[in-house]
Structure 1
Amino acid sequence: MRHMLDMTLTTQASFILTLPPMTDCDFIVVGHGIAGATLAYVLRERGHRVLVYDPGQANSASNVAAGLMNPVAGKRFALTWRAAELLPFAATFYRGLEQRYQQSFFTETLILKLFASLEEQNAVLARSADHPWGDFLADLATADPQLPGVHGPFGGAWLRHGGHVAVRELLAAMEAEGARDGWLRRETFDWTRLVTNADGATYAAQVRARHVICCEGAAAVHNPYFNWLPLTPNQGEVLDVECQGLSASQVLNRGAYVVPMGAGQFRVGATYKWPPFANGPTDAGREELTARLAVITDQPFAVLKQRAGVRPAVRDRKPLLGPHPTVPALSFCGGYGSKGVMMAPRLAVLLADWLAGQAEIWPDTSLQRYAALRPV
């Protein structure tokens, strides 16, 4: 009996000795799309110890996106939410990342929003007297702009201070740094293994952190702490096409965006589809986007690639940012929809400031506006 007890104690001691050491960090960021990547970058730049968990999905919304930053949205030509603050902030932020990684990611360019009809042209001209677009409107063209390969018989609105970001390439550069420096873990975060208390959180009995931020994008609908938020994921498809006869000196927009990628290639998007989602790109998505491109140009084009991803949209088209109502160690950052590239830098800084006790979360982004939806 004594021999058996000694063996049991020895086995237990051996098991305890072989446990991996506890890792301490300031913040765990779950997700490394554009929301998580920008937030983790801001926190690291401020000297915090950050650990990022991301499974590495090639078809994530951020990897599929064209990275367009557009000050005017939709058929109503409405000024994008907080555009005057978000756009210049984002441009400066991405230029800083270009310097850090010695790569080109951000292209500031004019956007030509083509009028679909004479009625649309007249409606925009009537609205322009009140200057609703501020400094973002460079010019209103009432005649065909005569651009190579562009069909624009009703003219269009020339918009400035916008552009596009090579999101896939940017995330790849940041991920390479994370793999090298050890702050990026290529694994799916298991929320059932998270234990929180007043002082912070412990994950998988191996990592201690002051705070954990969910940046999971559309996957947050399955998060046990945040699944009450009104995220309404929608699937978008994009095409990469070659069209050598089409002007590449601007972004084009009429029912679809056409973003120049260089060497006569363009990214065309995007579709909006509500659940249930197809498993990847669809024939219907391809047909819809090629039909939209054929309205913009009469030049021949070839489809080179087709991708699909799921965006994390919110019912009121505003992002979701800030602390969990009852779990002090948790926060949420996301719900950017199709505006992630433009929103992410400023909101990352806002959340980092809040975490440092230096700012308040904007009311129109706060999770509190949906507090009534949380189960009691």
Structure 2
Amino acid sequence: MKKIEVLIVGQGLAGTLLAFELHLAGVSVRIVNNPKKSTATRVAAGMVNPLVFKRMTKSWMVDELLPVMKKRYRVLEELLRERFYFDLPMIKPLSEQETALWQERKTDERFAPFINEICESSPVDHVFKSNAYGIVKGSGYLKTGLFLDAAKRYFQQKELLIEADFSVQEDDFENRVFQNIQFNKIVFCEGHYLKTHPLFDFIRLQPAKGEVLQIYAPDLSEEYIINRRVFVLPIGDHRFKVGSTYEWKDLTDIPTEEGKNSIVDRLKDLIHVDFSIEQHWAGVRPTVIDRRPVLGKNPQHEHVFVFNGLGTKGVMLAPYFAKQMLWTLMKGNHILPKEVNLQRFYKS
């Protein structure tokens, strides 16, 4: 029987980044993934925005997250021999009130790394007239599908990936055995499926369905992400990902006409250019009620852990917290930040 240290269930963004952290640290690991289960990562645009436009604040922990994120994706690009993370500035059309707030933030040294300039006219054509245009730096995107596919090939070549369903109801779970592999610890990274997980039903997951379009717009600039009520993200060859929507009742991964119309209506308020819709996707984000990831050890099972709840900021969050999860698994005295520790959901 093969003995390993950590078994990971799920090869979405969380499971993939954690697997690499363990593998590169020399820890024996295997990933179990059911290819029939959908993952929000493949549908997601993979956009990174260091600012929260609604209140014009910095994204949570952005100063700590961004350097770790960029370093890790660059290392993985070299390892996988594939380019999948791209820096790209962002245009935010501004109202008169927003312009005043942006100008105030621009003089604040805490925002200096993320606000490039405020322009009177749009740097690109075909964007509707606004009072001004804020240019964000530090933004970018991850080609999520490309990344997961490259990681999958690597894991398969190293014989680290098992494509199968995993159930805690199996008799061998208590014995820490799966398909003739004995594991010391197990980490569940199953995205929105955590909502019905029998060992983690106390975590207040609030999954949200999101829909995204791919459009072809040959006359639209590919030099910027454009973002106001809807994002327009260049992905190459005059194609753009456009989204998104939020739906909390219909948690299927089936695209809807309502979702498409919502995106198109907002898109037409942002840009005036001919475009055609080429693809339409839907996925369910593993969002936690307090909008923070959830990491840690199950209170009843010493060998059972969770790494989940990355939500809409997953591309930026995953590398940093995968490292935190590594330390949690391998260092018995590592203390997780209270904001992400699953202990916050324990019943009092």
Structure 1 residues 322, 252: CA separation in 2 closer, same or farther (over 3 Å shift)?
A: same
Between Structure 1 and Structure 2, how many residues are aligned? 347
Which digits, 9 at most, give the CA deviation of each residue in 1:302-322, with x for residues without a partner? Answer: 000000000000111111011
Superposition pairs of residues 119-138 of structure 1, within 5 angstroms: 119-131=97-109, 133-138=111-116
In structure 2, what residue type is equivalent to 1:41?
A: F
Measured in 2, the distance between the counterparts of 1:366 and 1:320 equals: 6
Measured in 2, the distance between the counterparts of 1:158 and 1:208 equals: 52
* Alignment partner of 1:189 is 2:166: yes
Q: Scaled by the length of structure 1, what TM-score is found? A: 0.87
Counterpart in 1 of 2:340?
365
Measured in 2, the distance between the counterparts of 1:196 and 1:335 equals: 24
**Does the CA-based 8 Å contact 1:280-1:308 persist in structure 2?**
yes
Q: Percent of counterpart pairs with the same letter? A: 28
**Does the CA-based 8 Å contact 1:148-1:246 persist in structure 2?**
yes
Match of residue 221, structure 2, among 247, 260, 270 = 247
Which digits, 9 at most, give the CA deviation of each residue in 1:270-304, with x for residues without a partner? Answer: 11111233550000111111112112210011000
In structure 2, what residue type is equivalent to 1:330?
A: V
Once the two structures are overlaid, the 10-residue window that deviates more, 254-263 or 128-137, is 128-137
Measured in 1, the distance between the counterparts of 2:345 and 2:271 equals: 44
**Does the CA-based 8 Å contact 1:196-1:327 persist in structure 2?**
no
**Does the CA-based 8 Å contact 2:253-2:284 persist in structure 1?**
no
**Does the CA-based 8 Å contact 2:126-2:272 persist in structure 1?**
yes
Measured in 1, the distance between the counterparts of 2:102 and 2:346 equals: 38
Structure 1 residues 209, 32: CA separation in 2 closer, same or farther (over 3 Å shift)?
A: same
Secondary structure at 2:215 match in 1: strand
Counterpart in 2 of 1:326?
300
Q: 1:128: Cα distance to partner?
A: 4.4
**Does the CA-based 8 Å contact 1:59-1:308 persist in structure 2?**
no
Superposition pairs of residues 132-211 of structure 1, within 5 angstroms: 133-141=111-119, 143-193=120-170, 202-204=176-178, 206-211=180-185
Secondary structure at 1:135 match in 2: coil
Measured in 1, the distance between the counterparts of 2:341 and 2:88 equals: 32
**Does the CA-based 8 Å contact 2:106-2:115 persist in structure 1?**
no
Superposition pairs of residues 260-339 of structure 1, within 5 angstroms: 260-339=234-313
Match of residue 355, structure 1, among 329, 332, 336 = 329
Secondary structure at 1:192 match in 2: coil
In structure 1, what residue type is equivalent to 2:230?
A: A
Once the two structures are overlaid, the 10-residue window that deviates more, 52-61 or 344-353, is 52-61
In structure 2, what residue type is equivalent to 1:112?
A: I
Once the two structures are overlaid, the 10-residue window that deviates more, 103-112 or 153-162, is 153-162
Superposition pairs of residues 10-21 of structure 1, within 5 angstroms: none
Measured in 2, the distance between the counterparts of 1:76 and 1:333 equals: 29
**Does the CA-based 8 Å contact 2:88-2:225 persist in structure 1?**
yes
Match of residue 198, structure 2, among 212, 224, 236 = 224
Q: 1:114: Cα distance to partner?
A: 2.0
Counterpart in 2 of 1:51?
30
For structure 1, the 5+ residue unaligned runs are 1-21
Which digits, 9 at most, give the CA deviation of each residue in 1:215-252, with x for residues without a partner? Answer: 00000111111111001000000000011111110111
**Does the CA-based 8 Å contact 1:193-1:203 persist in structure 2?**
no
In structure 1, what residue type is equivalent to 2:220?
A: L
Q: 1:65: Cα distance to partner?
A: 0.8
Structure 1 residues 194, 300: CA separation in 2 closer, same or farther (over 3 Å shift)?
A: farther
Structure 1 residues 278, 41: CA separation in 2 closer, same or farther (over 3 Å shift)?
A: closer
Measured in 1, the distance between the counterparts of 2:37 and 2:86 equals: 23
In structure 2, what residue type is equivalent to 1:49?
A: S
In structure 1, what residue type is equivalent to 2:91?
A: L
In structure 1, what residue type is equivalent to 2:215?
A: V
Structure 1 residues 278, 321: CA separation in 2 closer, same or farther (over 3 Å shift)?
A: closer
**Does the CA-based 8 Å contact 2:209-2:251 persist in structure 1?**
yes
CA RMSD in angstroms comes to 1.9
Structure 1 residues 64, 279: CA separation in 2 closer, same or farther (over 3 Å shift)?
A: closer
Q: 1:84: Cα distance to partner?
A: 0.5
Q: Scaled by the length of structure 2, what TM-score is found? A: 0.94
Secondary structure at 2:346 match in 1: helix
For structure 2, the 5+ residue unaligned runs are none
